[in-house]
Amino acid sequence: GVFAATRAQALAQYGLAGIAAGVSGLLAGAAIWLLDPQRVTDQLGWLALAALVTAALVAVITIGAFSLLGALFGITTPMRLLELAQLQRPLLRRLQEEAPGTFHHSLLVATLSERAAAQIGADPLLVRVGAYYHDIGKLNRPAMFIENQDGPNPHENLEPSESARLIIEHVERGDDLARRDRLPPRIRDFILEHHGSRRVAFFYRKAAMSDPRVDPHDYTYPGPPPQSRETAIVMLADSCEAVVRASGEHDADRIGMLIDGVFDERLRERQLDHCDLTLSELRQISASFKQTLVGAHHQRIEYPPAAQAELQATPREGSPANPAL
C-alpha cells in the first residue's frame, strides 16, 4: 500500500493503495489459514470481507492523513498540489483574464518543465504547479510585459532604470499574492527563484549605452538562484520558451541553438550552482526542451484559398458545410 501511494497524483491511486493493502492482508490471512490444521472453509469468506474493509479504510485514512499532516506541518502533499493545479482557481482565473499572454506562457513553461522533470526523476507535479504560478506577479502591471501588450510599448516612454524596476517588481508582487492566497512555501520558491539573481539585461545594456557607470545592482533580480532541481527546471524552461517565442526562426536547428545558448548562459552566470542538477541531467533537460519546442513550433502548411465553384456550392440538406474539415 505504501509503494502504491508513492507520489500519488489522483484519488484513484489512493484507491489502488487501499486495494494493494487489502490484497496483502488477504494473502497474509490466507497463508495463516493454510497453516492452521483446524482451519474451516467458512473462514475464507470472513478473510475476503476483512480484506475489502481494509482496502476501503486504507484509502480513506491515507487521504485524510495526507491532508491533515500537510496542514499541520506545512507539507506540500500531492493532494494539495492537485488542488492548486486546477485552472479555475482564483489566481489562475485572474491570470487568464487579465494577463492572457502570461497565462499562455505559463502553460507552455509547465508543459516543458513537467516533461523534463519526469525525464530526470524530479517531481513533475510540483514542477507543473510551480510553473502555473511562477509569473503571477505580472498581474500587478500586465501591460509592462511584452506578451500582454496590444499596442504601444509603455517602456518606450520610461527610463531604463524605471523599466527595470517595474520588471523586477513582479517577483516581489508575485510572492505577496502567493502569501495572500496561502500558497505553500514550495510553490512560492518558484516565484522567488525563477529569475535567480540575474540582470534585466535589455534595460541594463540600454542604460549602459548612455552611462557606462550605471549601477548593475539596480538592474538585478533579488534572487535567490534556484535552490532545487524543480525550480531550476522552471527557470530554464521560462527562459527557453521566451527566447524561442521571440525568435523569428523556428526550425529545429535554430531552436536547438537557442536552447543551448540559454543553458550555457545560466551556467556561466552560476545560477545553477545550488540546485544539485548534474551535467547529465542538464543534457536530458535540454533534449526534452528541444523535442517539446520543435513540436510546438512545427511548420504548418498554408491552405489555398477556396475555389469559386466551392464557394458557390450549396451543401445538401443534412450534410456538413465543410466536409473536408
Tens of pLDDT along 207-251? 999 999 999 999 999 999 999 999 999 999 999 999 999 998 889
- Residue 125: closest CA among 90, 86, 85: 85
pLDDT, residue 149, reads 93
Report for 17-26, 52-61, 96-105: range of highest mean pLDDT: 96-105
CA distance to 7, 111, 135, per residue, from 3 (Å)? 9, 27, 35
Mean pLDDT calculated for residue range 56-73: 62
Distance CA 37, CA 33 (A): 8
pLDDT in the model for residue 110:
98
pLDDT for 305 equals 73
The type of residue at 209 is M
The answer to whether 51 and 22 have CB atoms below 8 angstroms apart is yes
For the segment 283-294, what is each residue's pLDDT rounded down to a tens digit? 999 999 999 999
pLDDT of 172 above 70: yes
What domains, with CATH codes, occur in the chain? 2-74 (no CATH), 79-296 (1.10.3210)
SS3 state of residue 169: helix
